[in-house]
């Protein structure tokens, strides 16, 4: 799989809440950072962040770009069950076919 394929598969696993698929795509030394999470590990991510897909009505990848050196940028739109729509950007690093780091940058309402 290409690095962009790994990121897309991780998004698909999240939306489907397929924990086994997500676990296979995320490295044991994974680090996740967002405005709400400061460098949390894989265990904390899987407990705190992964089970939140039910708050989304939809999620759509607008752009998915290989940034070189294992990096991938993704811009996505989503609609919450409240009706609000937002855009976020993530930068992920993929090594040996697994996510090792993801940094999320929250956007505003769209």
For the stretch 34-71, pLDDT in tens is 999 999 999 999 999 999 999 999 999 999 999 999 99
In sequence order, the 6+-apart residues with CB closer than 8 A to the CB of 70 are 3, 93, 94, 95, 100
Q: Tell me: the pLDDT tens digits for 62-79?
A: 999 999 999 999 999 999
Position 9 pLDDT exceeds 90: yes
Question: What does pLDDT average to over the chain?
Answer: 97
Selected residue with higher pLDDT from 2 and 110: 2
Residue 80 parent element (H or E): strand 71-80
Encode burial over 65-94: b for 16+ CB neighbours within 10 A, e otherwise.
eeeeebebbbbbebeeeeeeeebbebbbbb
Half-sphere exposure of 9 (CA within 13 A, CB side): 18
Dist CA 43 CA 82 (whole Å): 28
pLDDT of 110 strictly over 90: no
Give the separation between CA 41 and CA 30, rounded to whole angstroms.
6
Question: What's the pTM?
Answer: 0.95
């Amino acid at each position: 799989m290409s690095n962009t394929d790994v990121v897309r598969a991780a998004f698909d696993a999240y939306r489907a809440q397929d924990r086994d698929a997500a676990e296979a795509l995320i490295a044991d030394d994974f680090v996740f950072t967002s405005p709400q999470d400061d460098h949390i590990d894989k265990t904390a991510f899987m407990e705190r962040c992964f089970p939140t897909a039910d708050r989304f009505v939809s999620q759509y990848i607008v752009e998915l770009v290989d940034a070189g050196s294992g990096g991938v940028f993704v811009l996505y739109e989503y609609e919450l069950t409240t009706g609000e729509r937002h855009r976020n950007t993530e930068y992920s690093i993929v090594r040996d076919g697994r996510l090792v780091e993801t940094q999320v940058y929250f956007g505003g309402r769209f």
